[in-house]
Structure 1
Amino acid sequence: MSIAIVQGVLNIPGSQHKIRAKGIEKPSFPENYTLIDVETTGLYPWRDRITEMGGLKVRHGEVVDTFSELVKFPKSNYVPPFITKLNGIDEAKIEAEGMPVKEAIEKYRYFIGSDPIVGYNVNFDLNFVYDLTQKFNLPVLSNDYVDVYRLARSFYPNERHNRLLDCMKRLGIAESQEHRGLDDCLDTKKVFDKFHEQFKQDHLLRAHEMVKTLDLGQEWPDIVKQTQVFRSPFRNKRVVVAGDLEIDKLELANAIKNLGGIVQDEVGSDTDYVLIGDHDRFRTDIVDLTKAKSLKKSGQKISIWSEEYFLNVLDNWARS
């Protein structure tokens, strides 16, 4: 079996343990669910932090409980100024009002329970929450989910932008967005409810068709590549595979090519990414790795990705 995407989830024979074991996206309108939204200091769970957790517990379409907590970490609660400008959350506010992260994630995970999860561009939120639940040995966040952003793209297929605020304006809900956890949850539910009222069968069918199912390990015809590489992280990127990876390198090369990437035999001045094994970063006997480090040190914009990091990037694309 080759590298594949099945119902929006990356399937990697022998390496499935390297990616987050999140649930499956199921475009639908459940009556009972938990809606989530988190505010963060940036885009990347491995580097950035959650600053606020928001949630709604919904039963038969009605809100029966809410969750709203600022999150305080033990070492640093620095918030970049542009984030503070966006949502008003700063270090002083977190220090004064925040709940310690361990307590906050335990309560948040309990609040979510086994419900289907709903959210806007919810894979972003899931990554941050998933990693925190793993860090504190809580039940795996494998709940299936509904992405309201997917529904928006289905409902407005000809619109270039389908941000939450765009939908709020189009649906007559509001002209501005607070960018706070609980407020965004409430706004997302309003959009979700409007979609539920207005969706027709073809809208829902289009949303289901947008959830990817692809064989990445087999070489695609050019016509297929042209239709599938939308938002690919490897489109027009030059990639070198080096070191000891667990996945089949031929299938990996095909996957990169299918996603619009260019596989190089060796690192050069135009290389964008070098993929290495999870235990290779400090090895000195991998020529391409040594060269990549030297080029990076001299100022070249070149990224060195471990196999695990690469697979999670690919899984995020699969779920997009």
Structure 2
Amino acid sequence: MSLVNFESNTKSMELRKEDFFILDENGYRVRPMKGNSLFMFPDDYIILDLETTGLDPLVDDILEIGAIKVVDNVIIEEFQRFCRPDDISMLSGFIQKLTGITPEMLDNAEHPINVIKDFMQFAGDSIILGYNVHFDINFLYDEALTRNISPIKNDLIDVMRFSKRFLSDLPDYKLKTVAQELDIDSTGSHRAIADCKITHNVYQHIKNVIGNDGNAADEFYKKAINKRKPLDCKDITTDKTEFDITHPLYGQVCVFTGTLEKMNRKQAMQLVVDFGGENGKSVTKKTNFLVLGNNDYCPLIKDPDGKSTKQLKAEKLKESGQNIEIISENVFYDMLEM
């Protein structure tokens, strides 16, 4: 894969982010140099968490990179840096309220390329753990490509998937919810270093219960494939009877809004139920994901006057603490590959 060489650290004004991405035959973004997703319980690892202006690497920016280095199950070093977005106006009031990061905090922030390089040096070739870690890695991977540096290639472990198998009856699987269920302090959640430490404690709890026995880990993984009756969606059903209960769409209620670029809404809804999820017509307290068509998820949508009724309601529900995420069509496709 060849990349354009830049004379500066800024993204090219003539090229779009999507010009750097590789698409498969179905038009989905693929990341061929991305590390492998592992199922194991290492003693040495890096835990990573990002804070961003939104959930789509195609149009959103990284605000903060936080990480902790763990050796022999003990935290030995921390990494925390702010990144200054190319356009500070992308830092919406909604994100400021959610993360506590304000424009003033970013006045002296460094350029993303410098922070990413330093983080990659901090991480080395260690396994990277995270809570829904593919979200964080995809941001770093795509940002590196558009800045003309080698993308991150470390192997990954998603602690959220462990949590879904270990705790089977929670109302949701937000990091804070899982931590509270395990009596782990979740103070400071939605900031990078705090979330890293919470994730570390959740992982260590699960690891200590499951143990380091390879057979026990294998059995733990096998049980993650669960048989259940197909979900009874009104018009969209599935013939599948086996689902990976650790998949991010399993048991989640998805609502679509706007026109999708790569498929029609019926096809997208079919994918949801095929992964064990449910579809909803409108945003309610049961909704977990509001998926915006790519044309609706753009910088302009951050203007309150440009947001749909569904998005405004979803933001209000998220601010009240509901387990709901507002994602783009592209991020939805990324989730299918996890």
Same structural fold, with TM-score higher than 0.5 when normalized by the shorter chain: yes
In 1, the alpha carbon distance for the partners of 2:258 and 2:194 equals 42
* Compared CA separation, residues 226 and 273, structure 1 to 2 (3 A): farther
Partner of 2:239: helix, strand, or coil? Answer: helix
Equivalent residue, structure 1, for 2:126: 115
Give unmatched runs, 5+ long, in structure 2.
1-22, 227-236, 274-290, 295-307, 311-327
Equivalent residue, structure 2, for 1:50: 62
Partner of 1:143: helix, strand, or coil? Answer: coil
* Compared CA separation, residues 234 and 174, structure 1 to 2 (3 A): closer
Query: Which residue identity lines up with residue 223 of structure 2 in the other structure?
Result: R
Superposition pairs of residues 261-300 of structure 1, within 5 angstroms: none
In 2, the alpha carbon distance for the partners of 1:178 and 1:232 equals 22
Equivalent residue, structure 2, for 1:185: 196
Query: Which residue identity lines up with residue 170 of structure 2 in the other structure?
Result: E
Contact 1:38 1:50 in 2 (8 A): yes
Contact 2:131 2:175 in 1 (8 A): yes
In 2, the alpha carbon distance for the partners of 1:182 and 1:106 equals 18
Alignment root-mean-square deviation, CA: 4.0
Out of 162-171 and 70-79, give the one that drifted further.
Answer: 70-79
- Post-superposition shift, 1:73? 3.0
Equivalent residue, structure 2, for 1:30: 42
- Structure number with greater CO (CA < 8 Å, separation at least 6) is 1
Structure label with greater radius of gyration: 1
Contact 1:109 1:133 in 2 (8 A): no
Give % identity. Answer: 24
- Post-superposition shift, 1:148? 0.6
* Compared CA separation, residues 73 and 225, structure 1 to 2 (3 A): same
Give unmatched runs, 5+ long, in structure 1.
1-11, 211-220, 243-248, 262-271, 276-298, 302-308
- Post-superposition shift, 1:162? 1.5
- Post-superposition shift, 1:235? 8.6
Deviations 1:117-137 (A, max 9, x none): 100011111111111111222
* Compared CA separation, residues 118 and 226, structure 1 to 2 (3 A): closer
Aligned partner of 1:101 among 102, 112, 115: 112
In 2, the alpha carbon distance for the partners of 1:175 and 1:48 equals 26
Equivalent residue, structure 2, for 1:295: none
- Post-superposition shift, 1:114? 1.8
- Post-superposition shift, 1:256? 5.8
* Compared CA separation, residues 232 and 225, structure 1 to 2 (3 A): farther
Partner of 2:83: helix, strand, or coil? Answer: strand
- Post-superposition shift, 1:112? 2.2
Contact 2:293 2:329 in 1 (8 A): no
**TM-score normalised by length of structure 2:** 0.61
* Compared CA separation, residues 42 and 16, structure 1 to 2 (3 A): closer
Equivalent residue, structure 2, for 1:317: 336
Query: Which residue identity lines up with residue 36 of structure 2 in the other structure?
Result: I
